[in-house]
């Protein structure tokens, strides 16, 4: 791993509310210095353009092998246009599939894994292209130099979408492309879902070339694009409020006083898996709460304070993506972080890009870069006050450790149709509805996967209304 980057990441730790000294993104634990200007971003994107061989049978474009958005984005056509230096046309091609280009640069990169070149070198790093397009789109859109593709006139059918994350926004975009009118409800003042308040700053690629800009500008851009295309947003709509009260009226669904032909539920609601030893303690901090309030604090985006402060002692349980994000977020807030991992430590793996490393390897790399303590073969037996009694999975005691917070990042379960029934009065589900994103059991749990789920839900509901 690049020692200079490790030093720069460490240099930031303990400096709450500060920007990272450089923009660092991790692809499976490897750190890359990202461009900080539009010109640098184009150079990086063109390097990947030149690396792409334009395979006739490209797995990167296949939803089941590469990017979940697959054929919606036409990546091979995009690279073909870039080879002719037709950047604007390439951006328009990419945009028509999914306008939310910059958000996908935070993806773990299944397109890179599936690339045919992994048998020889490393895969084409398409996230660099998304990074460039995100910057370019914002610049051109607000300069009035980017034309949204021509869309059909409204056919009069109104579809409600509950949730303005990537699943909900992609569903809205697919509906607009077929002449339907989407109205998107969300509890937040901006769209984005987890891309707004659930993905730490070291992952989400900014969409501007001014380093001081925040992700709120990215989500404002997406809102403006969808509104220009004909969508309507209803923000600050809480479940159970007058604005978000669902009932049926004949074959229509009423939300407030508005009638809709169908509803897509894309709330992204997931419930954190419980840890028995933590059920009676008050120092448990939900991982999503840590990420949301930490991000808001980091970017000065709102008034909701983060409970984690500098020098707090934070324990994170788990070794998956959420655990790594929580550990890294707490470090950026100045906390001293210990990660408790049930499994034993493994040595450094030797693998190619096409072989995804064990999560423990990724956690070890993160710990090295960000001065995080790892406790292997460790589970929480019980908690008294701020003291967590630790032991091995086999029951051998490992003593007590004091923590200000314990974050159980052990996974989530989707509420699925349970949440739909909670939203609907007296379990009276809409006559026509679909679920997307985290509510969809078939959704792939990465950002492009959420968007693909939203697209599929939109097409299913349109097929139902057409019969």
pLDDT of residue 152: 92
Strand ranges inside 125-193, DSSP E: 158-162, 181-185
Domain 158-269+415-466: give its CATH code: 3.50.50.60
User: Residues 50-76: what's their mean pLDDT?
Assistant: 71
pLDDT reading at 201 higher than 50 = yes
- Cα 308 to Cα 163: distance, rounded to the nearest angstrom: 28
pLDDT reading at 347 higher than 80 = no
DSSP letter, residue 384: E
64: three-class secondary structure by DSSP:
coil
- Cα 433 to Cα 300: distance, rounded to the nearest angstrom: 37
**Range(s) within the chain of domains with CATH label 1.10.1060.10:** 34-142
* Helix 321-332 vs helix 359-370: crossing angle, to nearest 10: 10
Token digits of residue 336: 């001293």
Write out pLDDT tens, residues 11-20.
433 333 333 3
Whether 269 and 419 have beta carbons less than 8 Å apart is answered as yes
pLDDT band at 52 (very low <50, low <70, confident <90, very high): confident
User: Residues 422-433: what's their mean pLDDT?
Assistant: 73
Write out pLDDT tens, residues 151-185.
998 898 999 999 999 999 999 999 999 999 999 99
**How far from 207 is each of 38, 89, 222, CA to CA, in Å?**
10, 19, 11
- The percent helix, strand, coil of the chain (3-state, each to 5) is 40, 20, 40
User: Residues 65-77: what's their mean pLDDT?
Assistant: 74
pLDDT band at 47 (very low <50, low <70, confident <90, very high): confident
pLDDT reading at 120 higher than 70 = no
Alpha helices in 272-334, H assignment, sequence order? 287-299, 321-332
User: Residues 318-339: what's their mean pLDDT?
Assistant: 90
pLDDT of residue 96: 92
The model carries a pTM of 0.81
Buried b (16+ CB within 10 A) or exposed e, 195-229: bbbbbbbbbbbbbbbeeeebbeebbbbbbebbeeb
Whether 222 and 100 have beta carbons less than 8 Å apart is answered as yes
pLDDT of residue 64: 62
CATH superfamily name and code, 273-411? FAD/NAD(P)-binding domain (3.50.50.60)
**Range(s) within the chain of domains with CATH label 3.50.50.60:** 158-269+415-466, 273-411
Whether 323 and 364 have beta carbons less than 8 Å apart is answered as no
Question: So what CATH class is 34-142?
Answer: mainly alpha
């Amino acid at each position: 791993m690049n020692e200079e980057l490790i030093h720069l990441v460490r240099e930031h730790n303990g400096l709450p509310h500060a920007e990272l000294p450089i923009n660092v993104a991790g692809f499976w634990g490897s750190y890359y210095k990202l461009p900080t200007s539009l010109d640098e971003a184009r150079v990086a994107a063109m390097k990947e353009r030149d690396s792409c061989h334009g395979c006739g049978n490209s797995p990167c474009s296949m939803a089941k092998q590469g990017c979940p958005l697959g054929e919606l984005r036409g990546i091979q056509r995009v690279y073909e246009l870039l080879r002719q230096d037709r950047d604007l046309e390439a951006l328009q091609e990419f945009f028509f599939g999914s306008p939310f280009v910059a958000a996908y640069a935070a993806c773990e990169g299944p397109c890179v894994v599936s690339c045919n070149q992994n048998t020889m070198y490393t895969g084409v790093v398409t996230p660099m292209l998304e990074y460039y397009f995100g910057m370019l789109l914002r610049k051109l859109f607000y300069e009035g130099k980017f034309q949204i593709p021509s869309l059909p006139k409204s056919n009069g059918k109104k579809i409600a979408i509950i949730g303005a994350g990537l699943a909900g926004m992609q569903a809205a975009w697919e509906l607009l492309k077929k002449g339907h009118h989407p109205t998107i409800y969300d509890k937040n003042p901006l769209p984005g879902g987890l891309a707004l308040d659930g993905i730490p700053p070291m992952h989400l690629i900014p969409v501007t070339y001014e380093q001081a800009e925040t992700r709120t500008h990215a989500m404002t851009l997406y809102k403006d694009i969808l509104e220009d295309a004909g969508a309507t947003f209803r923000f600050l709509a809480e479940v159970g409020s007058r604005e978000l009260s669902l009932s049926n009226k004949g074959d229509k669904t009423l939300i407030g006083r508005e009638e809709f032909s169908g509803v897509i539920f894309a709330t992204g609601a997931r419930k954190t898996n419980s840890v028995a030893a933590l059920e009676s303690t008050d120092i448990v901090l939900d991982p999503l709460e840590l990420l949301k309030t930490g991000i808001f604090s980091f970017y000065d985006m709102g008034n909701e304070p983060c409970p984690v402060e500098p020098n707090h002692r934070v324990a994170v349980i788990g070794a998956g993506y959420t655990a790594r994000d929580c550990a890294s977020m707490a470090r950026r807030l100045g906390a001293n972080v210990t990660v408790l991992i049930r499994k034993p430590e493994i040595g450094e793996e030797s693998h190619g890009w096409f072989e995804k490393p064990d999560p423990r390897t990724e956690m070890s790399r993160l710990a090295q870069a960000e001065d995080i303590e790892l406790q292997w073969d460790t589970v929480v037996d019980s908690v008294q006050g701020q003291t967590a009694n630790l032991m091995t999975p086999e029951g051998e005691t490992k003593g007590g450790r004091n923590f200000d917070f314990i974050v159980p990042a052990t996974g989530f379960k989707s509420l699925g149709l349970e949440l739909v029934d909670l939203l609907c009065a007296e379990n009276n589900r809409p006559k026509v509805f679909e679920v997307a994103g985290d509510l969809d059991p078939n959704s792939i749990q990465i950002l492009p996967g959420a968007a693909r789920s939203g697209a599929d839900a939109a097409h299913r509901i349109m097929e139902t209304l057409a019969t």
